[in-house]
Amino acid sequence: MLSYALLVHAAPYSTQGALSALRFAEAAIARGHRVETVFFYHDGVHNASTLMAPPQDEVHLGERWKRLGETAQTALLVCVAAGLRRGIVDGTEATRHDLAQYSVEPPFELTGIGQLVDAVLTHDRLITFPP
Binding site for another protein (CB under 8 A): 2, 4, 9, 15-17, 20, 23-24, 27-28, 30-31, 33, 124-131
Give the single-character DSSP code of 7: E
User: Toward another protein, which CB reaches closer, 2 or 81?
Assistant: 2
* Catalytic status, residue 79: yes
Beta carbon nearer to another protein, 22 or 104 = 22
Which is nearer to another protein, 13 or 24 (by Cβ)?
Answer: 24
Q: Are the C-beta atoms of 11 and 47 separated by less than 8 Å?
A: yes
Which of 45, 36, 37 is closest to 18 using CA atoms?
A: 45
Instruction: Give dist(CA 11, CA 109) in Å, integer.
Output: 17
Among 36, 9, 3, which Cα is nearest to 128's? 9
Q: How far is the CB of 24 from another protein (least distance, A)?
A: 6
Residues labelled catalytic: 79
